[in-house]
Amino acid sequence: MTRHPSAGDRRAATPVRGRRLPATYRGGGGDRGANPVELAVVMPLILVLIFASIQVAAWFVARSTALNAAQSAVNAQRLYQAPDGAGEARATRFLRAAGGWLVGWDDPGPSCVTNATEVSCTVRGRSLSVVPGVSFPVRQTAHGTVERWTVP
């Protein structure tokens, strides 16, 4: 028969006083305070990367807004017998409704050029800037054919 130890037979593991831990278990000794220094060196780089990614995202949104405004202007200007300025008016309405992602678009304003068969509209501006004083230009152009009656 095998005897199982009872609770009274077990001895609590108590640390031996006066004994030092081996060097592999002790702290690094000379590396005290190294983590805050490393963080102080790396944190500016991390912040620059965060702000750069936000700026790239703002530029892409501004670029997309300008392209959609230019496409909207082309769609309005290419209609059969569309009046002059219909494309510019549509792009202006679009940009006012789209929010402030594209800054300075109203300085030259959207422009459309129409000839007998094609229409081209351009929207210019700047994206929002995370860093004050830095400007990122945006220019998007859309092209389309003018609707017209042709004789077969």
CATH code for the domain of 89:
3.30.1300
Residue 79 has a pLDDT of 93
Does residue 49 lie within any of the structural domains?
yes
Q: Is the whole model's pTM more than 0.85, yes or no? A: no
Q: How far is residue 84 CA from its own chain's centroid?
A: 36
* Average pLDDT over every residue of 67-85: 94
> How would residue 116 be classed by pLDDT, with cut points 50, 70 and 90?
confident
**φ/ψ of residue 102, rounded to 5:** -105, 115
Does residue 22 lie within any of the structural domains?
no
Give the residue numbers spanning the domain of 120.
34-145
Q: And the tokens for 60?
A: 């892409």
Does residue 56 lie within any of the structural domains?
yes
Supply the Cα-derived Rg of the chain in whole angstroms. 34
Q: Classify the C-alpha dihedral 36-41-42-45 as positive or negative.
A: positive
- Split into its structural domains, the chain has a count of 1
Does residue 117 lie within any of the structural domains?
yes
